[in-house]
Amino acid sequence: MIALALLLAGQAALADTDAPVIEDVAAAASNPDAAPVITVMMSDRGSGVGTAQVHFRPHGGQWQKTDLKGGTSGLFIARLPDGVQRAGFEYWIEASDIAGNGPTRIASPDRPIVVEKATEPTLARVERQRAAAAAAAPVRIHPAWLMLSLGVGVAAGAGSGAFALDINNVQQQIEQEQPTGDRAAQQQQALIIDIAAAATLGVVAVAGLATGVVLVVLSSFE
């Protein structure tokens, strides 16, 4: 059985004439505080990916290489030395399969992929972008706020009007009855309460209606 398995594996290797396929390459190197990470998606229809390397150099430096870690297909990852991201670097990829087909390359020593130096930490960049987006976003007034302001103004105005009518009625009673003693004190107290309530509701009505008008004007500029 072992001999048969070795024979089949050998035949498969002999039949494999296709080099690996590099499907996608990405470099995570925008954060000056984190070492760059190169990710590569690769596949091989025959024997599988055997060796894969990232060749890299800081701008103006000497070429170095490091292995891409992975299985025989799928995602491969390599972490470059910390510090090259702050200077900027160039890189290229090559891979061969287990049967020896290849190498397949993405870029080359003469035409490498160029990564500019990282200058802004990720959290700082995200916060800056969020602040810029918030500053650029137009201020939109929800119709509910407009309706609420106008509704409060109208309701308060109606309440103020009702108390004004009650004030008039109390004043007429005082003129007709000419009360004395406790009765006079009660009517005067009721009159003061009605005046205070009418004045308060009047202020609320004016504020609500004014706010509603301002919101209507602002919403017309959106």
Residue by residue, DSSP assigns 12-57 as HHHH--PPPEEEEEEEE---TTS--EEEEEEE-SSS-EEEEEEEEE
Give dist(CA 42, CA 52) in Å, integer: 9
Task: Check residue 10 and give its pLDDT.
Answer: 53
CB atoms within 10 A of CB 180: 8
pLDDT category of residue 64 using cuts at 50, 70 and 90? very high
Q: Return the residue matching tokens 């008008």.
A: 213
Beta strand pairing call for 37-43 and 104-106: unpaired
Task: Check residue 112 and give its pLDDT.
Answer: 97
Res 87 pLDDT > 80? yes
| Range in 89-93, 121-125, 126-130 the model is least confident about | 121-125
Read off the pTM.
0.53
Res 42 pLDDT > 80? yes
Task: Check residue 6 and give its pLDDT.
Answer: 43
Beta bridge partners of 206: none
What mean pLDDT is predicted for residues 212-220? 66
Res 180 pLDDT > 70? yes
Domain limits, the chain: 16-121, 143-219
pLDDT, the chain, mean: 82
What mean pLDDT is predicted for residues 59-64? 93
Res 5 pLDDT > 90? no
Higher pLDDT, 17 or 7: 17
Task: Check residue 109 and give its pLDDT.
Answer: 95
Distances (CA, A) of 86 to 3, 29, 118, 190, 198: 54, 9, 5, 79, 70
Task: Check residue 4 and give its pLDDT.
Answer: 47
Higher pLDDT, 55 or 213: 55
- 13-18 contact pairs (CB < 8 A, 24+): 13/46, 13/47, 13/98, 13/99, 14/99, 15/46, 16/44, 16/45, 16/46, 16/47, 16/97, 16/98, 16/99, 16/101, 17/46, 17/99, 17/101, 18/44, 18/45, 18/46, 18/97, 18/101
pLDDT category of residue 203 using cuts at 50, 70 and 90? confident
What mean pLDDT is predicted for residues 174-202? 73
Cβ 127 vs Cβ 161: under 8 Å: no
Task: Check residue 204 and give its pLDDT.
Answer: 80
The CATH number assigned to the domain with range 16-121 reads: 2.60.40.10
Distances (CA, A) of 57 to 30, 92, 112, 119: 16, 10, 10, 18
| Range in 31-35, 126-130, 167-171, 199-203 the model is least confident about | 167-171
- 1-8 contact pairs (CB < 8 A, 24+): none
Res 55 pLDDT > 70? yes
